[in-house]
Structure 1
Amino acid sequence: MKGYQEASAVDLKMHHHMKNLLVIAGICLVGVHGFAQGLTLSRGHETKTFKENTIFEMVLSNEYPYSGGQLCEYQEVVGSVVSARTDSLFMQLYSLVDHRNHDDARVTQLLLNQSPIGTYPVSVDRIVRLESYKSMKNKKAHRNLAIAGGLLMFTGAATALNAILMKGQSNKRTLLLSGGLQFGLGIGFAVASRPNRYYLHHRPDPWVISPR
């Protein structure tokens, strides 16, 4: 039994290793570096146009139809669009993260995290949703703002709770006010850090990619 488990673990590691090599090889072989271009989404009478060099974070999945629960297997890619068609995109990637379930456990693998190399093909049918950022620096600023918002909400709630549990009344009002202000500011940071999300699938009124 022990030998079987060890063999299974080795097979799993080899499978992930080979998959990683195939992904990286695919990125390198798809084509040479291209110039980033813009992207236009449409939905009914609405249109949304993103400028060149816009950074996109996309969630990709083969799970369809999507019931609205948590995706079991999906990828997160971050990069800029080099070429756009109605059925596919070619992206210059900054990062690629693979998420999947294995033996009732969530397995997350960082397959690429460096300066963009090559181009990576993305089927439009796999794009669940996308978010846009002006640059990688802007994306990092959004992330830092979200972290700051979460910390402020936590410290605000803790301060208010301590004030409620205090026996004395001298500083209770001040602590409650301070906790409330921290919590409110944290909510503001969290809302400000949340980018607009555009769903291409799994919604009654999905957005559609329009070639430029």
Structure 2
Amino acid sequence: MTDNIYWHESSITKKDRQILHGHKSCILWFTGLSGSGKSTIANVVEQQLHQRGISTYLLDGDNVRHGLNADLGFSPEDRSENIRRIGETAKLFVDSGTVVLATFVSPYRVDRQTVRNLVQPNEFVEIYVQCSSKACESRDPKGLYKKARRKEIKEFTGISAPYEEPEHPEITVDSEHFTVQECAEQILKYLSGENIIGITFS
């Protein structure tokens, strides 16, 4: 980093923006295998939050790779850089007073921890969308597992690349045995119980 770059402090703080929105801001980080239902569940959660007057934005893994991260592949190094950029982007949303929902396979614990470290302890909610690789492959909504089995996709998480399950996620939803709506309700109940979507500020 050059010595000629300086941090500019804004006169409007994160708390000011949160008060304006009427709720706290945080990162809801959905992690899990491809096909586990991360984006589908996050979409329902966002709809419910929006109906409650919560300012939100959803960062989807595929969507981000169409623009911000279009230059990245799927090597371990590129995956880490993908999550680093998303983490920094999500941090900006938190500072803006917005609840950001991030849906990324994010297979490595160290990368998820890196994002957690960017914000305050109560501003990162790791949501593990738990679903066996067998169930994900049987769904295969994008046909990716078939391509991975034919070796048309290299370094595919769950087939030819590892996935490191979260050790202490704030929330674990079992998308293999429960419906999308049931998983979404579990997440909303947690957010309400932790006063993340309330209007009480400390």
Q: Which structure's CA Rg is the greater one?
A: 1
Normalising to structure 1: TM-score of the pair? 0.22
Q: Which has the larger share of strand?
A: 1
Normalising to structure 2: TM-score of the pair? 0.22
